[in-house]
Amino acid sequence: MTIELQLANHKSFLERTLYYACKSYIDNFNNPELMTNRYKYSSLRNTYAISILGFHLFDNTFPTVTHFDFKERETHFLLSEARMHTIVLSYFTLSNGNFNNRQVEFWQKYFTNQEITDEMPTYIQEAKQLAHQNNLSKEELEMAEALSKRQQIQMAREEFVRDEGIEQGIEQGIELGIEQGKEDLIFLMYKKGTELTEIVQLTDYTEEEIKRILKKYNQ
């Protein structure tokens, strides 16, 4: 099972969710602890990819929670009903009010930090207690926020490289965080017309440091 919280849409998001679901599915292949007979494929298991979304992936006619499974087009027969282990993609839209049932409504209120009332099920109350920020120390909160910021910066770097097709940047170690690779990326971003203020937001360099790097490349 894979679970992720995605607040903003981006290019190829659907393809990414399918990719990681498939990767999780095949990771079980040939695992002797999961094999039910001598055939390697018996190690495969159902894989569920759950995405909690802060945006509308589909139009407003869709329910809050959507599920995509393998089925026959004409009869709608599910492969899972043939006792085959498959992949299920599920998307939970936090801004969609077409609730599948009351439980979905409760979970949406939980994820959107709405008031958790006594009428809600016990599992919602317990989830709130576990996730409440007061359960974290100041140091733990700062660490979580710093990690989230670093992850967002890294994702922005990678997406810029992919979208602009800067293969040279990849080859020079952008993903590995090599210092020279970072400087090369800064120069390439600037050469592509990216504003200095935007480069500052996407990197851990100050504007003065970026100007120094650009000056070195222009010599």
Give me the tens of pLDDT residue by residue for the chain, a chain 219 residues long.
888 888 778 778 889 899 999 999 999 898 998 898 888 989 999 999 999 998 888 888 999 999 999 999 899 998 888 888 899 999 999 989 999 999 999 999 888 888 888 888 888 888 887 766 555 555 555 555 555 555 555 666 566 655 555 555 545 444 444 465 677 777 777 777 778 887 777 777 888 888 888 888 775
Quote the pLDDT of residue 174: 43
Nearest 5°: the CA angle 3, 6, 10 is: 125
| Paired residues of 49 in beta bridges | 2, 89
In a domain, residue 133? The reply is no
Q: Beta strands of the chain (E only): which ranges?
A: 2-6, 47-53, 65-68, 87-93
Which of 96, 106, 23 minimizes the C-alpha distance to 56?
A: 96
The secondary structure of residue 78, as a DSSP letter, is: B
Quote the pLDDT of residue 117: 85
In a domain, residue 155? The reply is yes
In a domain, residue 121? The reply is no
189 burial type by CB count under 10 A (0-12 exposed, 13-18 middle, 19+ buried): buried
Q: Which residues constitute the domain of residue 161? A: 138-217
- Find out whether 28 and 45 touch, Cβ atoms under 8 Å: yes
Q: Three-class SS string for 133-159?
A: HHHCCHHHHHHHHHHHHHHHHHHHHHH
Quote the pLDDT of residue 172: 47
Which of 159, 146, 150 minimizes the C-alpha distance to 185?
A: 159
User: Are 150 and 94 contained in the same domain?
Assistant: no
> Which residues are CB-contacts of 19 (< 8 A; sequence separation ≥ 6)?
none
Q: Measured between alpha carbons, how far is 212 from 111 in angstroms, rounded to an integer? A: 44
User: Are 159 and 94 contained in the same domain?
Assistant: no
Quote the pLDDT of residue 170: 45
In a domain, residue 118? The reply is no
Quote the pLDDT of residue 136: 52
User: Are 95 and 142 contained in the same domain?
Assistant: no
Which of 101, 93, 6, 90 minimizes the C-alpha distance to 46?
A: 90
Give me the number of domains the chain comprises.
2
Q: Which one-letter amino acid corresponds to residue 99? A: F
Q: 61 by DSSP, 3-state: which?
A: coil
Domain boundary among 46, 76, 100: 100
pTM of the predicted model as reported, rounded to 2 decimal places: 0.59
Residue with tokens 């993903």: 175
Which of 215, 100, 199, 109 minimizes the C-alpha distance to 157?
A: 199
- Find out whether 182 and 200 touch, Cβ atoms under 8 Å: no
In a domain, residue 112? The reply is no
